[in-house]
Amino acid sequence: MSELTPDINLYHKIVELLSAARQNVVRTVNQTMVYTYYEIGRMIVEDEQHGKERAEYGKQVLEDLSLKLSQEFGKGFSIVNLRQMRSFFLAYSIQQKSSAELENGKKYEKLSNISSVEKTDISATPLRKFTLSWSHYLKLMRIYNPNERSFYEIECAANYWSLKELERQFNSALYERLVLSRDKDGVKQLSEIGQVIEKPLDFLKDPYVLEFLNLPEHHAYSENDLEGEIIDKLEHFLLELGKGFTFAGRQVRITFDESHFKADLVFYNRLLKCFVIIDLKIGKLTHQDIGQMQMYVNYYDRTVKLPDENKTIGIILCKDKSETLVEFTLPEDNDSIFASKYQTILPDKQDFINLLNQGDV
């Protein structure tokens, strides 16, 4: 049997090599396709700008182009697809200009006339770097705010989001929730390099959206029910928490002076190198809840964390909270304990957009 081991090892090595090669081929094909569609879109716009009235162009030229390309190359070149390629080029070729326009006006309104060819200077269009699939870009190019679009593109590539994950993050208003906790420089950073985790506030959200638990908004459930559903959907919950989180424990026991306590959920954030304790409250937040979390954090800082690890972070997820209560219960220099609301249905993105437009961000 031992004589066969080298052959088995050789087989596995070759399988790994072929699997990696196949993935690289798929990735290369996808990227080539995206670049090709972008270039087709550019050619269509260029031809349109030198043609006659756009209505006549859209009806006659695209139909003829679609028919000939379909005969030559098969499926994938319907009139709808060609229009999507045109829209793809327009969306990304005007992104830089649109970002500058948003700096001077309301940042979260739908851009007007985004498909107008007059907005595009083709000769000045830089070569874009596309790293995602065409399906991802079909979703991204329908995001009208170019800063928001850039953020999701960066995060998709960095975190290997599937199309389904991208749609979930967009529908949960991730960008708007992060923007609400940042100043102008922070918002600019989101669109240029994505979400950078350097301190607790960088990953904190308010609210956290837990629609994946499938708990109706007004359904009666206990904190144990909420915790159980989170554990059952742990992968989704980690996605909502954000970058760098790993699960460390559930109902983690804390004992001293013959007293026993249990922290609902404990995680570890590899980017911040610290423990993150989460307590779940289905009712209104009280000062006793905050005091209990302070005790958990102190216990972990003094007995669990290693010398080279950072201070423990405590997050109380509650259905309702008073900002004033939190402010006066915690010290002014607090940087380790936070209270955030949670909701069990997807938010109305327009509500967040209205909030952002009311402020200076």
- Kindly report the CATH number assigned to the domain that includes residue 331: 3.40.1350.10
pLDDT at 56: 54
Are 240 and 213 in contact, with CB atoms under 8 Å apart? no
Residues 79, 117, single domain; the answer is: yes
Are 250 and 265 in contact, with CB atoms under 8 Å apart? yes
Residue 218: band (very low, low, confident or very high) from pLDDT cuts 50, 70, 90: low
Residues 242, 277, single domain; the answer is: yes
How much is the average pLDDT of 9-28?
79
Confirm whether 253 is domain-assigned.
yes
Q: What is the CB neighbour count within 10 angstroms for residue 206?
A: 15
Residues 61, 10, single domain; the answer is: yes
How much is the average pLDDT of 96-104?
48
Supply the pTM of this predicted model.
0.77
106-145 tens-digit pLDDT: 444 443 334 444 445 554 444 568 889 999 999 999 998 9
User: Of 136, 157, 49, 141, nearest to 94 (Cα)?
Assistant: 141
- Report residue 262: phi and psi, to 5°: -135, 120
Lookup: tokens for 247: 């699960």
Between CA 206 and CA 179 the distance in angstroms is: 11
Question: Which of 27-31, 56-60, 92-96, 234-238 is predicted least confidently?
Answer: 56-60
pLDDT at 93: 82
Does an H or E element contain 262, and which? strand 259-269
Boundary-marking domain end, from 71, 106, 130: 130
Lookup: tokens for 105: 């006006």
User: Of 111, 150, 165, 176, nearest to 349 (Cα)?
Assistant: 176
pLDDT at 57: 56
Residues 119, 186, single domain; the answer is: no
Confirm whether 206 is domain-assigned.
no
Are 196 and 159 in contact, with CB atoms under 8 Å apart? no
Residue where the block lists tokens 């026991």: 253
Are 312 and 291 in contact, with CB atoms under 8 Å apart? no
Confirm whether 204 is domain-assigned.
no
- Single-letter code of the amino acid located at 278: I
Query: Taking all residues of the chain, what is their mean pLDDT, rounded to a whole number?
Result: 84
Residue where the block lists tokens 């607790």: 200
Q: In what order do the strands lie in the sheet with 337-343?
A: 208-209, 337-343, 313-320, 274-284, 259-269, 245-256
pLDDT at 254: 92
Residue 298: band (very low, low, confident or very high) from pLDDT cuts 50, 70, 90: very high
Residues 260, 352, single domain; the answer is: no
Residue where the block lists tokens 């260029």: 46
Boundary-marking domain end, from 85, 100, 130: 130
Q: Evaluate if residue 4 carries a pLDDT over 80.
A: no
pLDDT at 121: 52
Question: Residue 126, preceding bond cis, omega within 30 degrees?
Answer: no
Specify the long-range contacts of residues 200-204, CB closer than 8 Å, at least 24 apart: 200/272, 200/313, 200/335, 200/336, 200/338, 203/241, 203/242, 203/243, 203/244, 203/269, 203/272, 204/315, 204/338, 204/340
- Single-letter code of the amino acid located at 324: T
Residue where the block lists tokens 């961000």: 361
Higher pLDDT, 229 or 113: 229
Are 179 and 356 in contact, with CB atoms under 8 Å apart? yes
Confirm whether 244 is domain-assigned.
yes
Residues 152, 181, single domain; the answer is: yes
Between CA 95 and CA 80 the distance in angstroms is: 22
Residues 174, 233, single domain; the answer is: no
Residues 250, 264, single domain; the answer is: yes
DSSP 3-state assignment of 318?
strand
Domain that holds residue 106: 2-130
Does an H or E element contain 171, and which? helix 163-171
Confirm whether 66 is domain-assigned.
yes
Q: How many domains does the chain have?
A: 3
Boundary-marking domain end, from 130, 146, 181: 130
pLDDT at 152: 96
pLDDT at 235: 93
Residues 187, 256, single domain; the answer is: no
Q: Evaluate if residue 55 carries a pLDDT over 60.
A: no
Residue 25: band (very low, low, confident or very high) from pLDDT cuts 50, 70, 90: confident
Residues 270, 332, single domain; the answer is: yes
Between CA 108 and CA 111 the distance in angstroms is: 9
- Report residue 81: phi and psi, to 5°: -65, -40
Residues 216, 336, single domain; the answer is: yes
248-296 tens-digit pLDDT: 999 999 998 888 999 999 999 999 999 999 999 998 899 999 999 999 9
Confirm whether 205 is domain-assigned.
no
Residue 28: band (very low, low, confident or very high) from pLDDT cuts 50, 70, 90: confident
How much is the average pLDDT of 6-33?
79
Q: Percent of the chain beyond pLDDT 90? A: 49
Residues 334, 227, single domain; the answer is: yes
Confirm whether 262 is domain-assigned.
yes
Confirm whether 116 is domain-assigned.
yes
